Amino acid sequence: MATGEPRNRVPSGAVLREHEKAFRDCLTALYGRVNQLNQEVQGLQSADVFSVGIYKQTGEIEKLAKQLRNLAKG
């Protein structure tokens, strides 16, 4: 980094648009996964045991939520 160069540079318009697209795409994916999981859980009886698939889906949802949080931070 050159002397006198600001440390906190404001991202360019293209970078901001790319960041916004990534955020929206991640949010859409998260929304879809949550809806899919909700439909599966709605079909379960109270005595049924949650499947491994449901466990894996919750992990994928968690990853998407973390990615969304990191995108929101900037």
pLDDT in tens, 14-31: 888 999 999 999 999 999
Q: What is the DSSP string of 4-66?
A: T--SSPPPPHHHHHHHHHHHHHHHHHHHHHHHHHHHHHHTS-TTSPPPHHHHHHHHHHHHHHH
Looking at the 3D structure of the chain, how many domains does it have?
1
Q: Is residue 3 part of a domain?
A: no
Highest mean pLDDT (candidates 2-16, 28-42, 46-60): 28-42
Q: Is residue 32 part of a domain?
A: yes
| Whether the predicted model's global pTM rises above the 0.85 cut | no
Q: Is residue 9 part of a domain?
A: no
Q: Is residue 12 part of a domain?
A: no
